Amino acid sequence: MRRPVRSILVLIPTLAALGLLTAAASDQDAVYRARFDAMMKAGGVVTHYDPMEVVPGARSAVPLRVATAAERSIRGDALDRATAYAGANNSRVLIVWRNGTVQREAYFGAADRTTQIVSKSLSKPLGAIAVGRAIALGRIKSLDQPVADFIPEWTSTPKAAILVRHLLDMRSGMLGQMTSPDPAHPINRAYLGPDHDRVLIHDYPLVDVPGTRFGYSNAVADMIALLIERATGMRYAEFIGREVLTPIGAPGGRIWVDRPGGLAHSGCCMTLPAESWLRLGVLLLDDGMAGRRRLLPRGYVTQMTTPTPQNPYYGLGVWVAGRYVKRRGFTGVDGPGPQVLHGAPYADRTLFLFDGNANQVVYISPATRMVIVRVGDAPPRQPTEWDNSVLPNLLIDGIVPRKGEQKPVPQPEPAA
């Protein structure tokens, strides 16, 4: 029987659409393979982030005020030694802020106050700040709201037990950070795929009961961008720029997205000038207040800096001092991967920090009202390796105490 002409006319655009979808999928796979091959060639490290999306910041960012001689509260020799240590360890920027003023600002090589620095995992605490801001705006109910309220694809699955806080404290139960040479492995697809939002929602595996195990993960941190976008209806870059950076007077930058108009990588590699990271540290030091404006819920910073039983050194996106250990790993105290050296206990037991690959660090010392930023390239391993305790201890010990000012209590030693 002869097929009606009308059916043929309907079939033609359908086949055309299928052809376009097939071509698009082929193009995405080609992009993914090119990224994967480049990462493998570089020894498992991503060295090029493309494409990037603009993150707006304060339109007329005024530099932070530099302390006068009378306002300087850290001895010059301590500042000089800290600057020398930073300079000898491939730093591009060192900024020391205390009690409202910059005590020392040092740039190395071609860097200056406008230089965009690839921040690595400094992006993770920024994700926690973004969630706090969304809670303050009423777009997210609380840290204990199910993520499935925003990712309904997880409803009626084991992932429905994942709470917002689990994405931030790395207890989601989803696959932790690892490496694999297999291009089909979800750890690679979730990081490099131009459709990594789809992988995160549908393909990234749940391996533990949510809330029961610490599993540091870039993929899980990238879900914060998805959460913020679905909760607020704004692009992640726009939300960060409008609701976080602009109110604190911070310059903006750029963020890596999986494809033009696609999902941002909220767990890694936003670029910002060093001063913007300093201002974020000051925001947390001031319990989420930007001047007289409250950006984060009262007490949210306390929740950020409270560790979990599964990892006594990690809160919501930030690392906390806890009890002294000589080496602390990103995947847990005894977990695989890099182990950060602490040659001595921190001089302030309340210290917490943003800590990223290549020893990008923002130290926040509540007891001394000090924020220290060190960003740059990976320090050399020889003649000595980077020691995470050197900068804060040098600078805290160098404080010239004012009347009534007490020395902070140092980080406690391990229990006997």
Distance in angstroms (rounded) separating the CA atoms of residues 156 and 67: 57
- For position 2, what pLDDT does the model report? 47
CA neighbours closer than 13 Å in the CB half-sphere of residue 36 = 21
DSSP assignment letter at 217: -
Q: Which residues on adjacent β-strands are paired with residue 327?
A: 341
Q: Cα torsion at 209, 210, 214, 216 (round to 10°)?
A: 120
- Dig out the tokens for 60 from the structure: 């007329």
The tens-digit pLDDT sequence of the chain (416 residues) is 444 555 555 555 555 555 554 556 678 899 999 999 999 999 988 888 999 999 999 988 889 999 998 899 999 999 999 999 999 999 999 999 999 999 999 999 999 999 999 988 999 999 999 999 999 999 999 999 999 999 999 999 999 999 999 999 999 999 999 899 999 999 999 999 999 999 999 999 999 999 999 999 999 999 999 999 999 999 999 999 999 999 999 999 999 999 999 999 999 989 999 999 999 999 999 999 999 999 999 999 999 999 999 999 999 999 999 999 999 988 776 667 778 999 999 999 999 999 998 899 999 999 999 999 999 999 998 889 999 999 999 999 999 998 888 999 999 987 66
Q: Phi and psi dihedrals of 264, rounded to 5?
A: -75, 155
Number of other CB atoms surrounding residue 144 within 10 Å: 9
Helices (H), 57-159: 76-87, 123-136
Helices (H), 274-328: 274-285, 300-304
Distance in angstroms (rounded) separating the CA atoms of residues 40 and 344: 36
Q: Which residues are CB-neighbours of 97 under 8 A, at least 6 positions away?
A: 64, 103, 278, 281, 282, 370, 371, 372
Distance in angstroms (rounded) separating the CA atoms of residues 243 and 129: 10
- Dig out the tokens for 247 from the structure: 């109110």
Q: Widest CA span of the chain, in angstroms?
A: 100
Residue owning tokens 């600078």: 395
> Is 228 within 8 Å of 237 (Cβ atoms)?
no
Q: Which residues are CB-neighbours of 290 under 8 A, at least 6 positions away?
A: 247, 248, 249, 283
Tell me which residue of 269, 224, 275, 212 sits closest to 248, measured CA to CA: 275
